[in-house]
Amino acid sequence: MNNPAPAASAPPPAPARRTIDIVNASLKRRYAREARFRFMGASAVFLGLLFVAVLFGDIVSKGYTAFAQTYIQVPVYFDPATLDPDGNRDPQTLANADYLGLVKASLRTLFPRVTGRPQQRELYALISAGAPQQIQTMVRQYPSVLGTTRDVWLIAGADVDMLVKGQIDRELPEADRRIKDSTLTLVDQLKTEGRIEQRFNTGFFTNGTSREPELAGIAGALAGTFYTLALTLLLSFPIGVGAALYLQEFAPKNRWTDLIEVNINNLAAVPSIVFGLLGLAVFINVFGVPRSTPLVGALVLALMTLPTIIIASRAALQSVPPSIREAALGVGASPLQTQFHHVLPLALPGIMTGAIIGMARALGESAPLLMIGMIAFIVDIPQGVTDSATVLPVQIYLWADSPERGFVERTSAAILVLLGFMVVMNLAAVLLRRRFERRW
């Protein structure tokens, strides 16, 4: 700071205060204001990050165990007498054989000292209800196992799974525990024999949902989500961008277009469940689109995302400097050429950001889909847009509603997968922006 020398030697005409003095006097106050603003900004960001960290920490801590699955090794005698009584290896007979009985028999052989019906029922509960299916698949793939005894890793039942993962407290009195003392002994015995193992839970990604938590997977919901979102994008992006282009660049500015604009802005704020009701009333009841399908889901979600895309696209188009349009029109480009060659490419980053935000919202949406039946319990993985399906958020909603302890971790794991998709989509948005961003 170069304060002027005191006006001792200077001639007296006491000058008006110099600008620099006024500036210096106010400088401290200005910097203090700036520091306060920065501090508030930084704390807001910090608080936001803290909440995100807590949320993620909670979900991850609850959900990471779902990516492992407990297996129990059981020696199975593939008894030709029960599986293939006629001895001709007829696939039909093999498919309909009593695999459940086979599993039960194997368990009884493993624990010969367990007798009595209630005790045996407990024994059978060690193994998942999906185990017979596992054996059947084995027999179909390798018919040569017939007549031999093999050690097979069978999926453990949900309670055993929880116990092994430490989700069930052994110290509780037996009456408050989901697992009886006798089962505990069985599990401990299996453990000491090395017959219990945790493996990566591939089933979680390849199975459809199930009533049994240990068999439930997100493949069905993922496929449903994929079909629904792909169709939503396919429907809403071209229509939305086209509408924005027309309204922003071509439509005359009059009372009608004002009215349309106001209504689009209103639609963006309409609760999503209203779109679900609309879809039910119009698409299903009037047009007869099959319910519960990605097709009708996509129609509803496209309606929901359209206002977002239109508004974002219009803003992006508006931010393209008019001089670019003049330049193109000036050399004789038609209005459409002007838009497609020059204006749209410049607006594309903004348009895509809007579209991805809209899609991310559609990805997380469940309320309107409940209205159109996408909440149905569907075990099969959908193969197309007209198969009954559900989507990830709805699956999460359904699992969160289930009382079994095994579904708690799966709910969190499914949320993790959903969040992963969101992160990927937002990352894609950022990358696309970078890729297409141009200066002018």
Partner 1 sequence: MNALASEIVRDTGAVSAADLARGGHFSGTIGDITTPDPRMVCREVNVWYGDKHAIKDVSLDIGNHQVVAMIGPSGCGKSTFLRCLNRMNDTIDGCRVRGSITLDGQEIYDKGLDPVPLRAQVGMVFQKPNPFPKSIYENVAYGARIHGLTNSKAELDALVETSLRKAGLWNEVKDRLDQPGTGLSGGQQQRLCIARTIAVSPEVILMDEPCSALDPIATAIIEELIDELREQYSIAIVTHSMQQAARVSQRTAYFHLGDLVEVGETTQVFTNPRHKLTEDYITGRFG
Nearer to partner 1, 113 or 253 (CB): 253
CB atoms within 10 A of CB 219: 17
Nearer to partner 1, 247 or 417 (CB): 247
Report strand pairing: 149-155 vs 196-200: unpaired
Residues 244-273 that bind partner 1 (CB under 8 A): 253
The site string for partner 1 over 57-96 (x = CB under 8 A, - otherwise) reads ----------------------------------------
Q: Which residue in the set 15, 85, 91, 330 belongs to the binding site for partner 1 (CB under 8 A)? A: 330
Instruction: Return the range that interacts with partner 1 (CB under 8 A); candidates 42-50, 269-277, 338-346, 389-397.
Output: 338-346
Q: 295 with 386: CB under 8 angstroms? A: yes
Nearer to partner 1, 68 or 260 (CB): 260
Element (H, E) at 420: helix 405-436
Q: 237 with 312: CB under 8 angstroms? A: no
Element (H, E) at 294: helix 294-318
Instruction: Return the range that interacts with partner 1 (CB under 8 A); candidates 34-42, 324-332, 351-359, 396-404.
Output: 324-332
Instruction: Return the range that interacts with partner 1 (CB under 8 A); candidates 90-98, 297-305, 327-335, 397-405.
Output: 327-335
Give the helix ranges, DSSP H, for 203-293.
203-206, 219-245, 255-268, 272-279
Maximum distance among all alpha carbons in the chain?
Answer: 127
Closest distance to partner 1 from the beta carbon of 328 (Å): 7
The answer to whether 178 contacts partner 1 (rule: CB under 8 A) is: no
Q: Which residue in the set 138, 260, 282, 333 belongs to the binding site for partner 1 (CB under 8 A)? A: 333
Element (H, E) at 152: strand 149-155
What the block records as the tokens of 378 is 């569907």
What strands, in cross-sheet order, belong to the sheet with 149-155?
149-155, 68-77, 196-200
| Number of residues forming the site for partner 1 (CB under 8 A) | 22
Closest distance to partner 1 from the beta carbon of 316 (Å): 15
Q: 255 with 349: CB under 8 angstroms? A: no
Q: Which residues bind partner 1 (CB under 8 A)?
A: 253, 321-334, 337, 341-342, 346, 438-440
